[in-house]
Amino acid sequence: MTFKNKLMDIGLNLIDKQFQGIYHGKKIHPCDIKTVINKMLENDVSRCMLTSSSIQDYHDNAKICQDYKEIISNIGYTVGIHPCSSAEMMDGNDLDMGKFNNLENIWKDLLKTKNPYFLAFGEFGLDYDRLEYAPKATQKRVFEKQLEIISKLTVNLDYQPPVFFLHMRSCDDDLLTTLDNYNFHDDQKFIIHSYTDSLKLMEKILSRKNFFISFNNCSLRTEEGLQNLKACPLDKLFLETDAPWCGIRKTHPSYPLLIEALEETKATLSYKQLEYTVLKKKKIPLWFEENGLDKLEYLIGDRHEPCELWKIYLLASKLKNCTYEEIVVRVWDNCESVITHM
Ligand SMILES: [Zn+2]
């Protein structure tokens, strides 16, 4: 049993402006996506799934997959409309059918050609924490319309359809009951990503067939989050960075655990990332001037990167009291069986 190169980042936002070097609207370094991918590969992350929140995101992610295919082949994306982007699928009070037809045709094409980059439907779902982007009713209608289309396109497929990559925030049972209104393929799988809700709701989710939970560092900002990860069975577990977001902070209850776990596993865990220099804002331009995009040994301030994915795996092993290797191998098996279009 070996864990070499067996990490998959199932939630990665490479289209975020921070990877173009733009922070708060200001460009402070060149686009370093190539370096970010090379760093990721150097630290055991051999696969990744890029998150799309809109139709434009899908096009941008597809371009990244093409642009960097020489350095990473096990890369792909999700295709769907995030609840916070749902207002752009409306035309006044009605669904914008032109846009939904476009989305349907994209999905239809990707399925028909069995496009190897198309890994998941999503990211979609409900987010009642961020109603400023779209009210509940809009979020629901846009989510339901997507489910209706997917049901029609996939219910009779002769292979396992791409998994659902679901966003569920402060919406209690609403997401589950909405899903219940549609017929899906018998082998349809569902991942609730960036899980931050209660243990009780997690148990309810996991009592359903083909449902899985994905954790990132934001899931572990609270004691309850730590308990959730501890309680999530290994055969239901996924892990992600959600980079450039959701880096681990010193104020998180997970931070001291990470330090402790690192101390205990030093001999087996020798990730190069541990030696990277963290660049403070002022030092950034000089670093790129001197090193170009070839030198890998840097991280940028608070920007989270996929090369740091091992941290959440290590936390999972600490919380679940099993070896790092076991977590890696078990979650890898989940990736192989649930995210199948590789
Ligand atoms: Zn999300």
The whole-number pLDDT of residue 23 equals 95
The whole-number pLDDT of residue 341 equals 67
* pLDDT of residue 75 exceeding 60: yes
The whole-number pLDDT of residue 1 equals 57
The topology (CATH level 3) of 7-338 is TIM Barrel (3.20.20)
Query: Tens digit of pLDDT for each residue in 76-88?
Result: 999 999 999 999 9
Cα(287) to ligand 1 centroid in Å equals 32
Query: Tens digit of pLDDT for each residue in 100-142?
Result: 999 999 999 999 999 999 999 999 999 999 999 999 999 999 9
Average pLDDT for residues 198-225, to the nearest whole number?
Answer: 97
Domains of the chain, by residue range, sit at 7-338
Cα(18) to ligand 1 centroid in Å equals 18
- Residues with Cβ < 8 Å from 196, sequence gap 6 or more? 169, 218, 219, 221, 225
What does the DSSP assignment read for 211-240? EEEEE-GGGGSSHHHHHHHHHS-GGGEEE-
The whole-number pLDDT of residue 202 equals 97
Cα(276) to ligand 1 centroid in Å equals 28
**Claim: this prediction has a pTM higher than 0.95:** yes
- Residues with Cβ < 8 Å from 151, sequence gap 6 or more? 182, 183, 184
Query: Tens digit of pLDDT for each residue in 247-257?
Result: 999 999 999 99
Cα(292) to ligand 1 centroid in Å equals 33
* pLDDT of residue 323 exceeding 90: yes
Query: Tens digit of pLDDT for each residue in 258-277?
Result: 999 999 987 678 899 999 99
Bridge partners of 127?
Answer: 169
Query: Tens digit of pLDDT for each residue in 10-67?
Result: 999 999 999 999 999 999 999 999 999 999 999 999 999 999 999 999 999 999 999 9
The whole-number pLDDT of residue 266 equals 77
Cα(125) to ligand 1 centroid in Å equals 8
Cα(290) to ligand 1 centroid in Å equals 37
Query: Tens digit of pLDDT for each residue in 144-185?
Result: 999 999 999 999 999 999 999 999 999 989 999 999 999 999
Cα(127) to ligand 1 centroid in Å equals 9
Bridge partners of 76?
Answer: 49
Cα(283) to ligand 1 centroid in Å equals 32
Cα(226) to ligand 1 centroid in Å equals 19
Tokens of 15: 């289209």
The whole-number pLDDT of residue 149 equals 98
The position carrying tokens 């091992």 is: 310
DSSP state of 195: -
The whole-number pLDDT of residue 155 equals 97
Cα(166) to ligand 1 centroid in Å equals 7
Cα(81) to ligand 1 centroid in Å equals 11
Q: Give the confidence band of 2 by pLDDT, cuts at 50, 70, 90.
A: confident
Cis ω on the peptide bond leading into residue 116 (within 30° of 0)? no
Cα(1) to ligand 1 centroid in Å equals 32
Cα(46) to ligand 1 centroid in Å equals 22
Q: Which residues of 99-115 are buried (b: 16+ CB within 10 A; e: fewer)?
A: bbeebbebbeebbeeeb
The whole-number pLDDT of residue 342 equals 53
Average pLDDT for residues 282-291, to the nearest whole number?
Answer: 93
Cα(186) to ligand 1 centroid in Å equals 25
